[in-house]
Structure 1
Amino acid sequence: MYSKKQYVFDNDKPVKAEIRNYGKSDFPDLIAIQKESFPPPFSSDLWWNEQQLASHVALYPEGSLCIEVEGEVVGSMTALLTDFDPAHPEHTWQEATDNGYIQNHKPNGATLYIVDICVHPKYRSLKLGQLLMQAMYERVVHDGLERLLGGGRMPGYHNCSDRFTAEQYAEQVIVGKLKDPVISFLLRCGRTPVTVVSNYVEDKESADYALLMEWKNPFRQ
């Protein structure tokens, strides 16, 4: 199991943080954080429920992480193991994650697939998302996996969908001509683009598109 304690900085003030595996006692906090992190127009049907969280803990506890700041749970990240064929990258979030229940988790899979990452808006200036992502990279290395993979929402796309296709928008973000709250964050975390996928998840801001992005294990060729 995973437990990592360190300090993060609130402006110039160091504060204690811990990344650890989440359990049943954390479920109410995790559900509340989802509601704060993904307000409308994001679909409330995609917020975690207790049955999904229980499935995460039962099937792949190693991929069920939360982060505390001064003892308060303020974010989480969830993953499963799967197999990925780069020649056929198209898929939906529902297909990849079993609608968030991860019943399709493959214990011998070589790809760590990110089901979800969220941080309470009040704490996003502390760069906790990057710490959660780093913890998942450590899982990839520790278990000798091929890659970390996941679809990144493009919530800025709705602002310019009349001027760019989804692929053109992603490229504008990648070359730095535009900024996107999610894709730019993932680039800063070290993720690299694979391809844009359509009908990935119900998301009006992204017009249901996502940019599939990966992080390859540098120790595995």
Structure 2
Amino acid sequence: MYYKEFYVFDQGRPRPAVIRNYTENDFPALIRIQQESFPPPFPSELWWNREQLHNHVTLFPEGALCVEVEGEVAGSMTGLLVQFDPAHPEHTWEEITDGGYIRNHDPHGNTLYVVDIGVRPAYRKLGLGKWLMFAMYHLVIEKRLERLLGGGRMPGYHRKADEMTAEQYLAAVVRGELQDPVITFLLRCGRTPVQVVANYLDDEESCHYGALMEWKNPFLAKQA
């Protein structure tokens, strides 16, 4: 199980933080994170419920992480293991995460798949999302998995949808010509694009597209 103590900096002032596996005692705080992190027009039915959270901590507790700042739960990240074939990458969030219930978690999977990451708005300038992502990279390495993978929302795309395709939008973000709140963050965390997937998630801001983004385990031999 994971437990890391460190400091984050708030306008130059160190504040103690902890990343750890979340438990049932954290469920109210985790639901609050969802509500604050994904306000409308994000569908409220996609916020966590207690049954989903129960599955996270029982089916794959290693992939259930939260971060505390001075004892206050400020963000969370959840993953499951899947068997991913790069030759057939297309899927929906609903399919690959079992709608967030992760009953399809495969203990022998080759890929750590990101179900969700969220940080409460009041804590978003502290770099907590990046710290959570790095903690998941540690898990990829520890379990000798091939990659971390997840579908990133493209919430800025709806402003450009009349001008370019989703693929063109992603390419423009990667070139630095556009900034996207999610995709740019993932790039800064070391994730790289795999491809755009249509109808990935019920998300009007992204026009229902998702950008598959991966982080390959650098300790495994490079595939030919």
Whole-angstrom CA distance in 2 between matches of 1:122 and 1:168? 32
Question: Could you say what secondary structure the match of 1:116 adopts?
Answer: strand
**What corresponds to 1:201 in structure 2?**
201
Percentage of matched positions with identical amino acids: 66
What residue identity is the alignment partner of 2:27?
A: F
Whole-angstrom CA distance in 2 between matches of 1:43 and 1:173? 25
**What corresponds to 1:132 in structure 2?**
132
Measured on the aligned residues, the alpha-carbon RMSD in Å equals 0.4
* 1:75 to 2:75 alignment: yes
Per-residue displacement from partner, 1:96-147 (whole Å, max 9, x unpaired)?
A: 0000000000001010000000000110000100000000000000111100
**What corresponds to 2:65 in structure 1?**
65
Per-residue displacement from partner, 1:146-196 (whole Å, max 9, x unpaired)?
A: 000000000000111100100000000000000000000000000000000
What residue identity is the alignment partner of 2:68?
A: E
Question: Could you say what secondary structure the match of 2:88 adopts?
Answer: coil
Question: Could you say what secondary structure the match of 2:84 adopts?
Answer: coil
TM-score (norm 1): 1.00
**What corresponds to 1:40 in structure 2?**
40
Whole-angstrom CA distance in 1 between matches of 2:45 and 2:169? 27
Whole-angstrom CA distance in 2 between matches of 1:55 and 1:142? 22
Question: Where has structure 1 moved over 6 Å in runs of 4 or more?
Answer: none
* 1:108 to 2:113 alignment: no
Question: Could you say what secondary structure the match of 2:25 adopts?
Answer: helix
Whole-angstrom CA distance in 2 between matches of 1:209 and 1:103? 24
**What corresponds to 2:171 in structure 1?**
171
Question: Could you say what secondary structure the match of 2:81 adopts?
Answer: strand
Q: How does 1:85-164 map to 2 (within 5 A)?
A: 85-164=85-164
TM-score (norm 2): 0.98
Question: Could you say what secondary structure the match of 2:20 adopts?
Answer: strand
The gaps in structure 2 that reach 5 residues or longer are none
Question: Could you say what secondary structure the match of 2:76 adopts?
Answer: strand
Whole-angstrom CA distance in 2 between matches of 1:139 and 1:33? 23
**What corresponds to 2:189 in structure 1?**
189
**What corresponds to 2:25 in structure 1?**
25
**What corresponds to 1:217 in structure 2?**
217
The gaps in structure 1 that reach 5 residues or longer are none
Q: How many residues align?
A: 221
**What corresponds to 2:55 in structure 1?**
55
